[in-house]
Amino acid sequence: MEIKLSTIEIKPKSIHKYSLIWLHGLGADGHDFEGIIPQLHLNAEANIHFIFPNAPIQAVTINAGMKMRAWYDILEMSLNRKVDIPGIYQSVSLLEQLIKQEMTNGIPSEHILLAGFSQGGVIALHAGLSFTHKLAGIIALSTYFPTIEKFQTEISIANHKTPIFMAHGTMDSIVAIESGKSVFNTLNDLQYHIEWHEYVMEHSVCKDEINHISSYINEIFC
């Protein structure tokens, strides 16, 4: 049976020109970032289809096997040591389905932007940078990239010039800022168009970060 993601969606109030797919973190759901939209003050808000997918419900090893929404299993507290590679690839495939669905609905891939927080950022990065059609951009918040070595064998030239926005909290105790900065350094060395922002905060989102995300999106969707 084909797996499809359920979604929370905000339909465009005017002509549908753009799509933004935003992935939540571990244990949250599609509603998690729904409320951020009014705070972004996007110039093209009326023309954007906002899609907030719900991750599949599955057992998470580090949480004593408790079932919750997760893009992949977390096998150990050390995020990069032992990784649920099959789980990541399954979620990447599910995200690609959503992107292709928007393309089928007439939205050019260059008008589709991916965003993700924590686990969602992992999927947004891997899916976006390996996707075979050029995307509008990738926002990766408080995240890391455990499949970055595998990704480098799957690099898609299509998104080598795609603007990437990375941000992280300096006090993040869930995903250490060093993990995120390492991703930035690697992608920067590979000459991706990537920008880095850091804020005095925990594993969360802050006002200054929202303002910077707003500026980034407004440059892309105008």
- State the total domains in the chain: 1
CB 34 within 8 A of CB 52: yes
| Count of other CB atoms within 10 angstroms of residue 191 | 9
pLDDT digits (tens, 9 = 90+) for 58-96: 999 989 999 999 999 998 877 656 889 999 999 999 999
Confidence (pLDDT) at 208: 98
Q: Is residue 204 in a domain?
A: yes
Q: How many CA atoms lie within 13 A of 124 on its CB side?
A: 33
Structure tokens at 76: 């150990």
Confidence (pLDDT) at 4: 84
Q: Is residue 1 in a domain?
A: no
Q: Is residue 79 in a domain?
A: no
Which positions are annotated as active-site residues?
118, 172, 203
Q: Is residue 153 in a domain?
A: yes
Provide the residue range defining the domain that includes 149: 7-56+86-220
pLDDT digits (tens, 9 = 90+) for 89-123: 999 999 999 999 999 999 999 999 999 999 999 99
Q: Is residue 127 in a domain?
A: yes
> What would you measure as the largest C-alpha separation in the chain, in angstroms?
47
Q: How many CA atoms lie within 13 A of 198 on its CB side?
A: 12
> What's the CA gap between 197 and 158, in Å, rounded?
25
CATH of the domain at 45: 3.40.50.1820
What is the pTM for the complete model shown? 0.95
The number of residues in the chain equals 222
